[in-house]
A and B are shown apart, each in its own frame.
Chain A
């Protein structure tokens, strides 16, 4: 029984037919009034802009003159005649494919270690979480640029062992890896989610397994991991979408260029350059819709395949 039910039933019993509007007012108005700010935002800042960016993606638009319809031209150019688009796709997929599984592996590994009943768990958890909280800041990207510079911290340590390291951020073979390491460094928040998931696993399952003589190793593969798959699934989706949207570190570390030779040209960075560097708003809108398609396809694929590997309670 909710607020509105009571209000509407009492209203209908008192007033007959004429009050259809009064009844709507009684029953539906409060909900819609409370949602009013969200409605303005949803239509004005989300749905409306989505429709118009879909339209703009089929136009040439420089912000100053009105958009020119070019049909599928933007999309055709993107997939047939734009080496920078191809480069940004390669960079972004490489980043996602390496950073997400490695980050999750670290998060799960540390969570398992902490869940062994370690003393000082709150302290460790807080320390490992801190980089996750700070990591999105421009300050951290600046720090990273310094750490992996030619005369940076990493090379100082290497020089102790007599190794002369390259300038990691200005070498196209390594520059993307510095960003992947930055992403892995922030494994704290998926780790916390894993820890919460591990606590949900009933302890008597392990006791029963031990009685049956199952080794720790077997218990991990047969109990822990299957029961944790919903959390793995959740973390994988969130982290993948975040990785596709990543922008600030690549922007700061490459000074907004995506260099050396486009090796850190994240998709979002390329989109930014097209939109706000060259004012090719139509083309940038098309890029945005391709990004949405990729994210949607990935999410749909994950959900469709989830029944084969994600364990749900019966």
Chain B
């Protein structure tokens, strides 16, 4: 995607120059106003996390009168279990999910995009249909299944489905990308006697780093943010992810310690925000080309 602004060249009745300039200035004013309005809550939360406790509710400004990082220390140990446990758990679940999703989805996508086998079209159509399926429809039997396997109160129900390519969206994303890679490349490799596995491993994957990175980043963010899965499957505080930790905070001490709650909320957003800063272009392209929901 190029960022070169598309100029509307009006050939006919040209608006007077001053009117055009006024419109541009007005547009910028509107956009800047909207940006401030939208980001204000985020900045306010950030500021609140650095304020002395007694100032949080008296000030609507986004600049604290004095800075303090006490809230971070209080919040970190605000629950029976410290947030270092929750952050570790969240990282374990998210990183395992990334590995599972990238591996399993790329295998399936390679089959759909490049291999010829009977029933391919039917399976592909079925895969696309699962994209639309609300997860609630499979929720209860899945819960029963994982409970019988003894997986409740472990991370397995959150991770294993990723290794089984349950997130069909990423298969679709990768199929689209794989189809754009010239077939001459795999044909040449085939002439040299390479089998499907070698073509997948030595040609497709190395050429697909952009789409693999996009899938990895979105998997990380979605898993990191996931609240429903951990809510159902994790009941012991030592297994909690950050999102469950935050929720527990709001239920218990959070009502009295807003500073600590905001500090932990800010920290929970840091990994996502870092991805946003570093991979912004990749994320925006991913959305623009495939129409992702977030």
Contacts and interface: CB of A to CB of B under 8 A. Distances in A.
Interface of A: 1-6, 27-32, 34-38, 40-42, 44-46, 48-50, 52-53, 56, 63, 110, 113-122, 124-140, 142-147, 151, 153, 156-157, 185-186, 189, 192-193, 195-196, 198-199, 203, 206-207, 210-213, 234-235, 238-239, 241-242, 244-245, 247-248, 251-252, 255, 268, 271-272, 275-276, 281, 284-285, 287-289, 291-292, 295-296, 299
Contact of A139 (B39, B108, B269): B269
A65 B11 CA distance: 77
B42 A2 contact: no
A236 to B, nearest CB: 11
B180 interface: no
A155 to B, nearest CB: 9
Contacts, number: 300
Nearest 8 pairs of A and B residues by beta carbon = A41-B164, A31-B117, A139-B265, A49-B141, A34-B111, A196-B288, A49-B138, A156-B60
Main secondary structure of the interface of B (DSSP, over half): helix
B137 to A, nearest CB: 5
B87 interface: no
Contact of B39 (A127, A244, A255): A127
A284 B139 CA distance: 10
Contacts of A140: 269
B145 A138 contact: no
Interface in B132-156: 132-145, 147
A19 to B, nearest CB: 17
Given A42-B130, A186-B294, A189-B293, A245 B135 contact: yes
B126 interface: yes
B227 A37 contact: no
A44 B272 CA distance: 31
Contacts of B251: 255
A53 B141 contact: yes
Nearest to A234: B291
Contact of B27 (A31, A113, A203, A247): A113
Contact of A147 (B3, B41, B127, B266): B41
A280 to B, nearest CB: 10
A305 B189 CA distance: 47
A133 B283 contact: yes
A138 B246 contact: yes
Interface of B: 1, 3, 5-13, 24, 27-28, 30-31, 34-35, 38-42, 44-45, 57, 60, 104, 107-108, 110-112, 114-118, 120, 123, 126-127, 130, 132-145, 147, 161, 163-166, 171, 183, 186-187, 190, 195-197, 199-200, 221-222, 225, 227-228, 232, 243, 246-247, 250-251, 254, 258, 261-262, 265-266, 268-269, 272-273, 276, 280, 283-284, 287-289, 291-294
A56 B272 contact: no
B272 A134 contact: yes
A210 B165 contact: no
Given A3-B196, A276-B232, A133 B294 contact: yes
Given A34-B107, A118-B31, A28 B118 contact: yes
A113 B6 CA distance: 12
B134 A291 contact: yes
Given A34-B115, A234-B291, A238-B293, A41 B272 contact: no
B117 A38 contact: no
Nearest to A30: B196
Given A35-B107, A142-B250, A27 B288 contact: no
Contact of A138 (B11, B13, B165, B243): B243
A130 B39 contact: yes
Given A37-B163, A45-B166, A139 B35 contact: no
